[in-house]
Amino acid sequence: MWNQGIHARAGVACADCHMPYMRVGAMKISDHHVRSPLLNIANACQTCHRVPEAELEARAENIQTKTFELRNIALDALVELIGDIQRARDAGATDDQLAAARGLQRKAQFLLDFVEAENSTGFHAGQEAARVLGQSLDYTRKGQIAIRDADLPTTRPAAAAAGRPR
């Protein structure tokens, strides 16, 4: 995902932020404590960004908060879909009947896992993280629609209220 972000387009390498230069006596060396740049804003960020440390931290926190909230929405929706699949299975739906919903669940899970494993909580490429999470949500929604449209047995109260079998 990093390659979709502004830092990649500017030619910034991982080590530029995660292993910034430091002075040891008269020598300038890379800091080999690979870590979040937010733990060393002065050396990791302010060599390029000439703005106060608090502003840089606030920018990063804004991106990460929005990504985290969207990630949680996608995760909650995915857990609901998994529950819908399980309830349909428990109510007698066959593997063939659940195949479409399960395939969509796997696609949604893969995309959610991709964003989570990337480990920047959206900072490397916030718009791309949001796009991928949106796509995950869409697969989840389509999985729920696949269950509904196949008129599968379910134990959800909403299905019974709508006149579909439980």
| pLDDT band (50, 70, 90) for residue 166 | very low
Rounded CA separation 112/142 (Å)? 15
Whether 40 and 62 share a structural domain: no
Whether 92 and 38 share a structural domain: no
Whether residue 162 is contained in a domain is answered as no
| pLDDT band (50, 70, 90) for residue 154 | low
Residue span of the structural domain in which 147 resides: 53-155
Whether 40 and 122 share a structural domain: no
CB atoms inside a 10 Å sphere around CB 155:
14
Question: Model-level pTM?
Answer: 0.85
Whether residue 111 is contained in a domain is answered as yes
Domain containing residue 107: CATH number: 1.20.140.10
Whether residue 163 is contained in a domain is answered as no
| pLDDT band (50, 70, 90) for residue 66 | very high
Whether residue 161 is contained in a domain is answered as no
When divided into structural domains, the chain yields a total of 2
Rounded CA separation 107/118 (Å)? 17
Whether 61 and 97 share a structural domain: yes
Share of the chain above pLDDT 70, in %: 92
Q: Which of 14, 159, 33 is nearest to 93 (CA)?
A: 159
Whether 40 and 63 share a structural domain: no
Q: 128: Cβ–Cβ under 8 A, 6 or more apart, which residues?
A: 1, 4, 5
Whether 83 and 147 share a structural domain: yes
